Amino acid sequence: MASQTDLTGKVALVTGGSRGLGREMVRAFAARGADVVIASRKLEACELLADEIEREHGRAALPVACNISDWGQCDALADAAQERFGRVDVLVNNAGLSPLYAGVDSVSQELWDKVLDVNLSGPFRLTAVLGTRMAAAAGGSIINVSSVGAIRPTPEILPYAAAKAGLNALTEGFAKALAPKVRVNAVMAGRFRTDIAKAWGDPEAVEQLARSTIALERIGEPEEIVGAALYFASAESSYCTGAILRLDGGTP
């Protein structure tokens, strides 16, 4: 029996798609037959990955520079995908950021607004625009990349945690708003060894903390997002919407 994770003929759009978890999802979708739209703020990084996808997998790849905190750029991204491919079947709201700050009293309104705009407002706009188009056509799947910080907030990530808690709420709300033709789910990620890990401090101390606090005794590798992403993107999850999957190795 053919695998239900086959995405041949599908179009997948991934924000924050040029590196980290986004890059792994782009590569996995293309490997299973999907054409891809790779969006991030840095066009050159998107173009390099697009060239790799077309060379290694023979799939069409559209690189688009987009700052998803700007709703006008979100709309332009949706239109660029529509113009090139005629539709989007899978949307992954993966782009995010969590700037460091000295203490909660040092969080400026500018930082707060920036974090909420990227992690919450942008995904809302893209889901509203592309989800509505999906619902009016053949349907589709939307995957929000949330964080375990949404339910385990720590002092150094409070704006980010608040935004991701909001993204969890949007996941359940949009699952109802776009039903029955569009499924909306979330992956609530724990710590993964991406570029962000460089800001965590001493690598050995981070590894030791992981061994002592995470059930699987390690940090996740970027490619370990793929199974969850393929499940939600494909027919494997045909009866699943409004779900929030913890993918954190057993973080307490």
Give the C-alpha separation, 91 to 20, whole Å. Answer: 17
Q: What pLDDT score was predicted for residue 207?
A: 84
Quick one: 11-191+225-245 is in which CATH superfamily?
NAD(P)-binding Rossmann-like Domain (3.40.50.720)
The closest alpha carbon to 247, from 187, 194, 207, belongs to 187
Among 101, 160, 231, 239, the one annotated catalytic? 160
Q: What pLDDT score was predicted for residue 1?
A: 41
Q: What pLDDT score was predicted for residue 194?
A: 85
Q: What pLDDT score was predicted for residue 212?
A: 87
Q: What pLDDT score was predicted for residue 149?
A: 95
Instruction: Establish whether 231 is a catalytic residue.
Output: no
What is 103-160 written as a DSSP string? Answer: SGGG--HHHHHHHHIIIIIHHHHHHHHHHHHHHHTT-EEEEEEEEGGGTS--GGGHHH
Q: Would you put residue 216 in left (φ > 0), alpha (ψ -120 to 50) or beta?
A: alpha
Dump pLDDT digits (tens) for 185-240: 999 999 998 877 666 667 787 788 888 899 999 999 999 999 999 999 999 999 99
Dump pLDDT digits (tens) for 73-86: 999 999 999 999 99
The pTM of the full predicted model, rounded to 2 decimals, is: 0.95
The domain limits of the chain are 11-191+225-245
